[in-house]
Structure 1
Amino acid sequence: MVTAEDLKILPDKPGVYMMKDSAGKIIYVGKAVSLRNRVRSYFQASRNLNPRIQSMVNLVDRVEYITTNSEVEALVLECNLIKQERPKYNVRLRDDKQYPWVKITMAESYPQVYITRQVRQDGSKYYGPYTNVSALRDTFRLLRQLFPLRGCRYNLDEERIERPCLNYHIRRCLAPCTGLVPKETYRELIQQVCLFLEGRQEELVEKLRHEMGEAAARQEYERAAQLRDRLRDVQNVLERQKVVSDAREDTDIFGIAQDPSGSTVQVFQVRGGKLVGREYFQLAQGDETPPAEVLEAFITQYYDGSGFIPKELWLPCPLEGMKTVAEWLAGQRGNKVNLLVPQKGEKAQLVKMAAENAQILLEQERNREKQRENFIQDTLDELQRELFLEKPPLRIEGFDISNTQGQQAVASMVVFENGLAKGSEYRRFRIRTVEGPNDFAMMQEALRRRFRRGLEERQNLQTEGGKFAKFPDLLLIDGGKGQLSAVSEVLAELGLEHLPRIGLAKQEEEIYLPDREEPVRLSRRSEALKLLQRVRDEAHRFAITYHKSLRDQRTVASSLDLVTGIGPKKKQALLKHFGSVKRIREASLEELMRVEGINAKLAESIKEQLELV
């Protein structure tokens, strides 16, 4: 519990504070110009806190803090801690969804361009995030058509390929992997890609037109023709973009709409006065949180790690930390960024249009959510009716086994709640006690371990707070009558025979129940059957993926273990450098000798011995 003494010793300095609950979990991270004043404000009796903040304060057991030299430093630290800890009460994207970005690996001599959902501080440029994955893939395909980029994932600073692939021969790649294009030429191509992704197509057009003229003057007519075709394609993209501002500036325009269930933020991306893109984001905090607070938190998440920040941001309302956010953005961009709240004229109209779009999108999202809820409820009601259950199966657990003749045997447990996969509660088991191919016994071991652990957690915690303490409303086994009988034996042994359970046989999609001779057969178009199939197939996928990873580890180890002269350190160095035994086998003697500790004699020995494995 936070006491008056705790509040007295807080420093009057800028920094970040972390509020923790009784379990020591961080539930909120905030920044402050004065830690003392900010943290005290939460615990003043006269303070009128909104319901979300009041419920958070009621859970706070202690407050920890880190002082910084400035509020901008505090903002950077706050942003990093929120990404790392994902506190419950901070403004965050719904479901903490990882949106995709386009990544350009600028640290490499021949940068790669690909789609990723992970943003790292690795010297790369990131463009996004994109909320419409389909539109992103269309953009990426257009990018590959416009620019002859390499699609391979080789680290060309460390390895070379002897012959170019098909993409080179059809003029979709410059074959940097073989050294056919100078680094400077390829990086010039990458700069053009950056201009395209930043929406600065008009600047790109001028650049291409200039390069085309220079190539023609040097009588490099083939290159001039390639640049002419690229110029034409970029101009076609430009023609489809809508002019929204007479001022030819680069800006992002923000609009926000809120209701009790959450917020929608609309972002219009304007480059050179043209609307080149728009994205919208759903956030978990609703109208109990002031829009300025939601926007400030969103902007720091949106631009953190971004490859491009425009010169101006137009906002519907002033932010509490306007100056601090502007300084932080300037640090990210490399020069000044203006945060404006337009009150009249064209700019105000565009901000209003963004807000209206956000409201429309919010209403559409709520309608979709309502339709999904009704659809899921109808599906669960059908399952209850067809499987003779006492209540709709809100939580379904699916189990499957995977092994190769009893080797690397594993079991999977997947969880679906309200008809949706809940990956955070998936579990996997390595089979320990069963020898040989005996799927029934393996399934029994997995179920025994899962429910014994659950019973222990319930007894110790007296709650359902443990990893296995929550029991399913329906247990689904991949298999028929035999697998279901084996599972029923384990449940009876543990005193859990009351748990509803079924077996779903693949061939005819028949559903076996423990107390019925004949299986239940649902229509192939039944949504209830489709849900059971999704659970069964996901359990199968999760089990086989784990089994393959164990099998591959054993295969890699056994192949290299057969090569004399390679100990654990050299084996690890080879795998780290090449990534797989296949690529080690395909490497030339020169490439093998680049690995630390591998001389010419040993490289030759590796080649000879791996060819025999």
Structure 2
Amino acid sequence: MTRPPLSDEQREALLSSLPQRAGVYQFVDTDEAVVYVGKARNLRHRVRSYFGAPSDPRPFVGWLPALLSDIRVIVCRNEREALLLERELIARLRPRYNVDLQDDKNFFVLCLSRHPFPRLSLERLHPRGGSPARMRDLQCFGPYPSAEAARELLRFLQRAFGLRVCSDRQFTSRTRPCLRAGIGRCLAPCTGTLALPTYAERVREAQEFLRGRGDGLLRALQERMWRESERENFEEAARLRDRLRLVERSLARQQVVDPAGGDADVLGIHREGGGGALLWLRVRAGRAADVTRHFFEDAPLPTWELVRRHLLDRAAAGLDAARRWLIPGEALEGAEAGEEVDALSTLLSEQAGQPIEVHTPRRGPGASMLELARENAAQAFRQRLATTSARRDRLRRLQARLFLRSPPRRIECFDLAVFQGAAAVGAMAVLRDGQPAPAEYRRFRIRAARCDSDVDMLQEVLRRRLRRARSGELPLPDLLLVDGGVQQLNAARQVVAELGLDGLSLAALAKGGAGAGRHRVTRERVFLPGRKNPIRLRPESDELFLLSRIRDEAHRFAGAYHRALRRAATLKSGLEEIPGVGPTLRRRLLLRFGSLRRVRQAPAEELARVPGVTVQLAKRIARFLGGAAFDLP
């Protein structure tokens, strides 16, 4: 089946939808064949670099705009996972433009020799498996994405564990410690003064660390970093911070997905109203091997019913499936689904003609695999929205449901946040073509309105926003949505009439009560001007998804601003008002205890241990913040 190439508009929308995450990208031609596979630390930046004015000299790069019908991506947790998955896909798909099937310049491993005093070394492995014979006697860890990262890690391991890096010939011929031993980077086993069990223990610790089980060392580095920071030795703290980041970046887990090294099919689910994606992540020998995507649109069924039907269809299709299927537990929640969960494995096994075990892990490696599959399902659906008419169809359905004059390409929603009359704020969230536009969000501090009146505060926020639209400074929305019911809608109508903007479409979104029976869902209600009865939207509809999405964004944005103002006010009313506590002591106290709450909970004797805090001042701080002033000498 031949597909048309992406238009410039579709390609730009697809590129904008790519995540800024590590992963693997696949270029698909008009015959739906994968022609190129690559990996990236940042998928959006890397894929975008192929278009516009590319500096890549390879001939096929210039052909891409007329060649591509799709760009598929698989999100990975780090660059190492992307490297391994890229090699797996190249070996299996044999893409036309991956001519060299990867050179060996970035395929590095760290090795420990099989010797009574093992040597730590950095080696290169050939991607086609043509490794030299000497590699058979080495215990290898990796691969690592770049030579720089691997060499930095090698130097770090020398500092952390003191393992030797000299050749066996140098080891047997040396009688005096080398320079590395003098600077603390080697335990000097060549001198014969080091006991074999001591060195073996260091080797065991290094092996655990290289297998990704170095949490203890990471915690120790973090504690040292904070300790140096408290002593105001910021240069050493910065060096420790850089080393900590290096370890976290380079020492990701050895396996791509499953540390147990087994086979599994992992289902990721992403749903937005009536549309969504089901994505299967195929894990073979502990590594991600491939993904399979299934999309649905305008589906009235609940998620659990969609998943159940899809599982039965997949089992009956006789695909090359693993025996272990991982399914998100929340996707099977519901009365009818709950009754069938225990029997689901048996039912699928009968359909497939082979044993199938269904698991719904909540924690551990299984939950991590489910999260990775969910992220990929969400990304696949975002890309589909960017290259199809599904996004425009959503807006047309919302237009028809709310009796609007045109599709609401720009929707603005307003919400308020206040607590006991303090730090009253408003917020505006924006949906543009059905997608959040955070750069256009706005927040408002309530200046004149009474903080005990939601109507007054909402009207103040709307006046400030719509006056700027009336003057031409900001665009008018196609739909103005307020969080609330009839009272909030009437308040908005009054402001719109006052400013002479009678053509502006208004709506209010209010939460209703729980549904009856086993389908206990919250029925949202939409109030429109001039309409007595509210419109009740179907729970799984695209229209409700769009409205509730922007309502939740406005609520989140208002809440975040409100909490930030309250924290600032709390801090100001705390340490800043204590006599004798200036900026330097405030910084030391917060560095030592981490937060104002912990300073408040600390006894006076702990406060007195902070440099610059006297016994009398410690008592004053504890008394001022409400803490207990312990008896101090």
**Shared fold per TM-score greater than 0.5:** no
Q: TM-score, normalised by structure 2?
A: 0.41
